[in-house]
Chains A and B, each alone.
Chain A
Amino acid sequence: MKILIVAMYHPELVRGGSQQMAHELFQGLKDVPDVEPVLLCSADYNSPAMFKNGARITGFDQRDNEFLFLSHDYDYNWHKMPLPLQAEAFAEFLKRISPDVVHFHHFMAYGIDYLTLTRKTLPDVRIVFTAHEFMAICAADGHMLRKADGSLCEQASQVRCHQCQPHLSPEEYFLREQWMKAHLQVVDLFTVPSRFMIEFYTRWGLAAEKFVHVPNGLQMPKLPVQAEAPARRNRFGFFGQMVDVKGLHVLLEAVNLLRAEGFEDFAVEINGENIQFATPARRKEIEEFLAEEAARPPAERRVSFNGGYPHGQLGARMARVDWVVVPSIWWEIFCLVISEAWHFGRPVIASNKGGPAERVTHGKDGLLFELGDARALAETMRRAATEEGLWEKLAGGITPPEPRAAMVQRYLAAYEKAGLAAA
């Protein structure tokens, strides 16, 4: 079976969850007998050196079966690319590869209409689409997070979307929905990494029977040699992108509250990058906090900023903390950081919505707090740092995340199901 995986970005060019999972799947499928995976990742203005004169699709760094789709002039409003030569190149590529399954992990940088183009080019191919967020439903970056007040959105509608981003009229949001659905109808099977997403998509109008839950599985680094258990479990870690929706500011506000209460027996380590993608106001707030923290005498510092980390350093970074905090202020679809924390035996303290709420069982393998509520997080952190035996209990309750190989098997089953659906 030949499987073409279509991803937004190559994870080695631009980091991100959907491309990481597409790549994990590609790598995992290589180990399956009689399966030939091909990976097509988009590259855009973020990777100008990848562009070659006259080329629309090229190879990638001498890798077998890894290709780059050189995307430009993308229309983020309607999610399409007005370049017929690019569309022709994609269609030609499909014919040349001639896959049995085309598995889209995103449509951004290609265009949602590339789903229809795929069906038109290869009428009998199985088309599988993995939704890594709500981009088809939500024009506000697919986050389902209302821009006016930061509240979580559970239902898109032409008026609600217009309120969120008023530069488009309600009619245009109506059309956007029709446009998206017109193309999504060619998909044989959808997969989502978290179950709660199925409800969102079916409420939006897609058929529930077309959805399959496939949790993300990572190929994890080996566990580091266990150091001697510390006397206290009062070290908290943040891992991930420093963008607004990841809620780092909620964690920093919780630190302020703990300090104001006179509780200082804790440490927070921040491991993250890409603050340049945060909004200017949030970036300023975080940078000012970190600068003030760095200016304190060493004995008074409670927060340290370690910067980004290559995957190989993850174990070392995890070893320096007891708890991993996931303070995301959006639905946080799956949260690979939870898998990473669990892999290293770290209980998670997470916002109580979306993927984290689905995965973390409060009091069994972690703690949940009210999303966006810094006071609730502060209280949870204080409890975590002080309650005797809590860490051990929760760490003992962790079920190790499914490995990559399990995910690959689930996807292979999904491809079979897609074949039945197509038939």
Chain B
Amino acid sequence: MDESTTGRVKKAPPAPLPEFDEETYLRLNPDVLVAVAEGKFRSAREHYEHYGRAEGRLAMAPRDLPRDKIIITARPGSTGEAPHAPLGAVDAIKLSSAGGLFVTGWVNDSLDRLDSVELYVAGWSVAFSATGLARVRRPDADKVAGLLTPHALGFWGFIYAGQRLPSGKCNVVMRLKSGAQLILILNIELQDDLELRDNVLNHLASAQYPGPAYFNAVSSIGRAIGTQLVDFSQMLTRKAVSTPYIERFHRSGRVPKASVIVCLYGKPNYLALQQALFSGQAGAQDYEFIYVCNSPALAEILLKEAAIAQLAYGLDITLILLGTNAGFAAANNLGAAHARSNRLVFMNPDVFPKEPDFACRHLAQIEEFSAARTDIFGAALYYTDGSLMHTGMYFETDTIPGFVLGQKEDETILRAEHYGKGAPPEDAALLRPRFVPAVSGAFISMSRGWFEELEGFSQDYIFGHYEDADLCLRSLEAGRPAWLADLRLYHLEGKSSPRQLVHEGASAVNRWLFTHSWMEPVKAALLGPAPAHPALAEAMP
């Protein structure tokens, strides 16, 4: 209904129209018919004289109405409908003790787009811009809104206040572009910080996105949520590593030449298996093992396993137990801080020597070669079926057209690829020692000095994934690309820890973060299996 029929705008009455026909005017202007019926005007003529003429409305039906053609009977915009309060709902507003705030709901903005979701609470308020919210499919909302084709009516958002916020009643205003708004009052749910992070990551991973799910999940957090989640998770990581329980199973007087740092999560058996398989190697006594456990539930069994391992195998073990999951990067950084040697070997728990002389050959590499080759190096990793798992990593991009994602712009994200996945085990070209864009965090050997200069693994990455590539790229940018050494290990990829939905969510955040951080340098000189980056040149240092 236009503003004239709401009766809110008063204008000067125009001159009367002698041939004005009341019935015709009402037929041509159904909104006036309603306004007269509601008593807002005494007659059609009154409306015409006060508003209709000025709005350019027809007062008489044209005598020869053209056929099969739309006739405009008022100036454009003058009869635009007034904003309607949209249909919508807020499913939950969750607030954690450290100030993480998660909101999820839906709104029918299929015609009138959402502009913002505003929360007003006693003592604070926040306005989520619609562009910063993730939009997801909600078939249940489509049904309620009577939409026949699927729309992304759902939304969710996350913001981290960095401080404790009071909870209580919350006034939610869902504001559309037209100015229409839906106002709701809800109670805020309080949640533990870790639970809230899991909740958000689960939501990120499980929500129904329009188009390719994983791609859109990554894309949906790019405008605002990703940064907020990373900040929130960093805070949790710092807390997780602040009060570790440390027990040392050492023989006095032993000075290790290398410190193997292993991050454990979910499965306790790998400590014993790794100790059994490593300790039989010549030179194993030159290594110490530092196990950092991200699963508090494993604390008791790991203490027992470490005690038995010391009895049966006799290698020095440091066990660092964390009360919550600090993620791969922080656990490894913490392990490195407790290392007693200048050689840090980051190794997954499901990595085992393929060669009987691995322990000696690894140390020999460090003694024989220059820092350029040994400051950071990886090894050829093998599947247990005998084929190559990979010999280093490179980078590719994935692009999806914007229309597939329901957005204007195309979306491109980075992907880590591997040299020689599933290749025959003795492929000389793949095994050739060389500089590579990155090596897998399943096995990275680094000089302690270089690791510390790079400030270790980035703890921005949640739980795990991409922090290894990030470390290698930072090393490369600083002039030390990763070297693929002539060493071989088995890797039972993905078998060392149970994979849950929350990890899928974290993986999406990490992929966004990695893309956000490295897209430009990778596009410039590091794209594809044979990138042109000068640091990767074949010439031996």
Binding site for B on A (CB under 8 A): 78, 80, 82-84, 87-88, 91, 113-114, 116-117, 120-121, 158-159, 169-172, 174-175, 178-179, 182-183, 185
Contacts and interface: CB of A to CB of B under 8 A. Distances in A.
A179 B273 contact: yes
B305 A82 contact: yes
A364 B311 CA distance: 54
B272 A78 contact: yes
A183 B276 contact: yes
Contacts of B187: none
Given A171-B492, A179-B277, A183-B276, A87 B384 contact: no
Contacts of B385: 158-159, 170
A83 B313 CA distance: 15
B314 interface: yes
Nearest to B276: A182
Nearest to A111: B308
Contacts of A178: 273, 277, 352
Contact of A120 (B305, B312, B492, B495): B312
Nearest to B493: A171
B352 A82 contact: no
A255 B305 CA distance: 53
Interface residues of B, number: 22
Instruction: Find the residue from B301, B307, B312 having the highest chain A CB count within 10 A.
Output: B312
Given A182-B277, A182-B280, A116 B312 contact: yes
Interface of B: 269, 272-273, 276-277, 280, 301, 304-305, 307-308, 311-314, 350, 352, 384-385, 490, 492, 495
Nearest to A158: B384
Nearest to A169: B495
A113 B277 contact: no
A175 B492 contact: yes
Given A113-B308, A182-B277, A182-B280, 19 more contacts: A78-B269, A78-B272, A78-B273, A82-B304, A83-B304, A83-B308, A84-B307, A84-B311, A91-B311, A113-B276, A113-B312, A116-B312, A117-B312, A120-B312, A120-B313, A158-B384, A159-B385, A175-B352, A179-B273
A87 B312 contact: yes
Contact of A172 (B276, B352, B495): B495
B51 to A, nearest CB: 77
Contacts of A114: 312
A393 to B, nearest CB: 53
Contacts of B273: 78, 175, 178-179
A114 B308 CA distance: 10
Which of B269, B277, B305 has the most chain A CB atoms closer than 10 A to its own CB?
A: B269
B277 A120 contact: no
Contacts of B314: 120
A82 B308 contact: yes
Contacts of B272: 78, 80, 113
Contact of B308 (A87, A121, A158, A174): A87
B308 A171 contact: no
Contacts of A121: 311
A179 B276 contact: yes
A80 B309 CA distance: 11
A82 B311 CA distance: 12
B304 A84 contact: yes
A114 B311 CA distance: 10
List the 4 closest pairs (A to B, CB-CB), nearest first.
Answer: A84-B307, A174-B384, A171-B492, A117-B312
